[in-house]
Amino acid sequence: MKLQPNGYKTWHQQYGPVICLKLAGYTVLILGTHDVVKDLLVKKARIYSARPSIGSAHYFTKGMVAGWLSYGPEWQKIHGIESVFFKRGLVQSYRLLQDLESKQLVYELLSGRDFVPLFQRFAKSTPFTILFGKRLATTDSPEVQELEDLVQSLVGEIKWVHLLGAIPLADRLPKPLKVWEKMGDRLHDRIFRIFEKYTTAAVKRAGWNWATELEHRMREQGLSFRQTCFLVYELQVAAFASTWIVLNRVIKAALLNPEKTRKVRQELDLVVGVDRLPRFEDVDRLPYTNAFLSEALRWRSFLPLGIPHSLAEDDEYKGCYIPKDTVVFPNQWALDHDEKVFHHPDEFLPERWIENPELPLTTFGFGKRICPGQHMARNTLFIAVVRCLWGYDLITTESPDDPYNSSRKAIDFSAPKGLSFVVRSEKHKETIEREWNMADKDMTPILSKIQEQAQCN
């Protein structure tokens, strides 16, 4: 799916912050400023938190995926259950695992191997371990490949299901002609088979894991085992996909802005030195590094039009009537490049976040639909990026591709081409090897500590 993010921004400049369109029989609103998004998606979150039943979503989710459920009692039940696992105290305990996984990542980069499977293993293993109590310790773990195949199928099949299912009056066609429904059924069943297997094994596995806790809590709320399997699917795939996409965006930003990257390394060298890896405890002492990460998330939105909301009942905004079931897109690109909020928005300027720490970062959504795992995601991003930039120079044989070019896609999974991670010095290499060799790789004590924190929540 091709998009023109600057095209919508130009429309906003010409027609105003709210654009109304008629597309495939639907009324569509595109919101282009932070003020409008706040007025509708935040202040009126009760009626603007539904999800549209268009395109691919309902054909393969069949009401089983919380992220595509409309706001209501069932969504509230599931959201309440999953939110328990993202409370700040519990999220802090996940740092034990994120520390280990990122140590393995920077250690394996010493081999000079292609970084792509190493990044993918890291992005998959962190949520998988918490969910199912089993690490994906190697790139050839069967689950790593199975999940990769599933994600590729999701990207490929959803595109066709969305395209065919969005045809006006498509639902009125005879069932034999609804090929997208068969595709959705096939994908739905495949997801269930895979995550039924993972969840069943996790429930039987000794030690603590999310899947066991979720199964118990879901059952208490009268929700089915099938719904549990789709919830863990959603958590695993969302965590992997977002980590993978954002890591690549940050690395591309580092390649395209070498002067800013040098400033990050200077700060890391000053605060951390060469005798140890950066740690979570360093986060408050690394203001420029944190600003760099925030700017990388803002600078090139990985979802240019955001995730669509839907209006649950008729509404009026500044004299304009908005009918029920209107599809509402927060134009992420326009929001992140709003000159009234971000001066020189096309420039990569981490300094803006130091000058004004209250700048809005909307990567994780809005209102009641804001991502409950945002703090966990930010921790994963922080520890992986700071350790990679602390220990390695980024050497590329090709001119780095500006993510602006790939922002014309609905979702961009591409990694930088021709990129190698070259260790900065022999001392950095020794530190990486020492810390990995000394790391406790036994999951039992790590998961036990997470369990202790979970019982406090």
Helix, strand or coil for residue 135? coil
Q: Which helix (H) or strand (E) holds 314?
A: none
Cα–Cα distance list, 386 to 69, 257, 280 (Å): 36, 16, 10
Least confident of 89-98, 136-145, 301-310, 372-381: 301-310
In a domain, 339, yes or no: no
In a domain, 418, yes or no: yes
Q: How far is CA 371 from the centre of its chain?
A: 9
In a domain, 429, yes or no: yes
Distance between CA atoms of residues 274 and 268, nearest Å: 9
What does the pLDDT average to over 413-439?
A: 95
Q: What's residue 407's pLDDT?
A: 47
Q: What's residue 305's pLDDT?
A: 80
Least confident of 234-248, 362-376, 401-415: 401-415
Which tokens hold the place of 13? 């400049």
Q: In degrees, to the nearest 5, what angle opens at C-alpha 20 toward C-alphas 15 and 23?
A: 130
In a domain, 345, yes or no: no
Place of tokens 């649950």: 312
Q: Tell me what percent of the chain is helix, strand and coil, each rounded to the nearest 5.
A: 60, 10, 30
In a domain, 105, yes or no: yes
Domain that holds residue 294: 73-299+352-456
In a domain, 373, yes or no: yes
Give 1's pLDDT tier (boundaries 50, 70, 90). very low
Which residue ranges make up the annotated binding site for heme? 371
In a domain, 107, yes or no: yes
Q: pLDDT for 160-206, tens place per residue?
A: 545 454 444 556 666 666 666 777 888 899 999 999 999 999 999 98
Distance between CA atoms of residues 78 and 221, nearest Å: 9
What does the pLDDT average to over 272-293?
A: 98
- pLDDT tops 70 at residue 446: yes
- pLDDT tops 70 at residue 402: no
| Pairwise pLDDT comparison (314 vs 181), residue with the higher score | 314
Give the residues across from 392 on adjacent strands.
Answer: 423
Mean pLDDT taken over the chain: 89
Which residue ranges make up the annotated binding site? 371
Buried b (16+ CB within 10 A) or exposed e, 395-427: eeeeebeebbebbbebebeebbeebebebbeee
CATH number at residue 255: 1.10.630.10
Total tally of structural domains belonging to the chain: 1
In a domain, 138, yes or no: yes
